[in-house]
Amino acid sequence: MSEESANSGLIYELDGRVATITLDAPQRGNALSIPMMHAFRAALRAAQQEPDVALIVLRASGKHFCTGADLKWAGALAEGNEAQWREGNEALVAVLLEFYGLSKPVVARVHGTVLGGAVAVLCLCDDVIAVGEVNWRLPELKLGIVPSAIVPALRQVANRSVLRRLLYDERPWNSMDARGFGIVTEVASQETLDLLVQARIDAWLALPSASFAATKSWMRELDADDFRKALERGRAHAASL
């Protein structure tokens, strides 16, 4: 674990062929602060570049998985602090681009609340195992924030009717709903979560990692330009409001 990771509320660990990234700021709901996002991107890059790593596991400490963007920067635009908002938004976009560019599979263990930007992160994972009663929500529109970084990630897994449900309906959803939306791959109970996560880890590690990496890279390259353009256009539109 690097000093930067420790100070930012993120832990990066290696164990054989598995790299584990833990969001570790439970006192603030594992919200995505600017320092955490910088460390997050660095951890993803380190795992991608480590030749012995075949799989990345994403998890979190405390009650919540991730309560989305830290309001210190997410609400800065409404308060007239465009520079801080831009810094935070750029950091989130950089994390999502890093996720999109990964050739190694990512397994996410989701045990608690998922809000905002965390939804986008999970849309870019390959396997999301989540406890059924977990609450999911996109609070951005209610807060007057354009979800400019979230929608491009949602479009990777959701069709137009799902997007309308998620963006224009304030009702929260659970992991069963998220599975229907295409975000969650397997629903667990609190008792079975770790068993199911380990089963998926074992299944991924049993695959020929080189051929999977080549396949994932090829599939992502097919839509890479559209994904990057959507992020850029969303960022420009949000900043103009």
For 44-69, how does the pLDDT look when each residue is reduced to its tens digit (9 = 90+)?
999 999 999 999 999 999 999 999 88
Q: Would you state the pLDDT for residue 127? A: 97
Q: Which long-range contacts (CB under 8 A, 24 or more apart) does 227-230 make?
A: 227/100, 227/152, 227/156, 228/97, 230/151, 230/152, 230/155
Residue 130 three-state SS: strand
pLDDT above 50: residue 4: no
Question: What is the residue whose two structure tokens read 């049993």?
Answer: 206
Q: CA 214: distance to chain centroid? A: 22
Q: What is the average per-residue pLDDT within 59-85? A: 79
CA gap 9, 23 in Å, rounded: 6
Q: Would you state the pLDDT for residue 76? A: 59
**AA identity, residue 241:** L
Lowest mean pLDDT among 21-35, 39-53, 76-90, 93-107: 76-90
pLDDT band, very low/low/confident/very high, at 143 (cuts 50, 70, 90): confident
| Beta carbons of 149 and 120 less than 8 angstroms apart | yes
Q: What is the rounded average pLDDT for all residues in the chain?
A: 89
| Nearest Cα to Cα of residue 225 among 37, 105, 97 | 97
Non-local (6+) Cβ contacts of 190 within 8 A are: 111, 131
CA gap 170, 142 in Å, rounded: 8
Residue 147 three-state SS: coil
pLDDT tens readout for residues 202-239: 999 999 988 888 999 999 998 889 988 888 887 766 65
Q: pLDDT over 70 for what percent of the chain?
A: 90
| 2, 37, 92, 97, 110 from 88: Cα distances, Å | 22, 8, 6, 14, 24
| Beta carbons of 28 and 41 less than 8 angstroms apart | no
pLDDT tens readout for residues 117-127: 999 999 999 99
Q: Would you state the pLDDT for residue 48? A: 97
**Domain at 3-195+203-240, CATH from 3.90.226.10, 3.40.50.300, 2.30.110.10, 3.40.50.1580:** 3.90.226.10
Q: Would you state the pLDDT for residue 189? A: 98
Non-local (6+) Cβ contacts of 194 within 8 A are: 109
pLDDT tens readout for residues 184-212: 999 999 999 999 999 999 999 999 988 88
Q: What are the residue ranges spanned by the domains of the chain?
A: 3-195+203-240
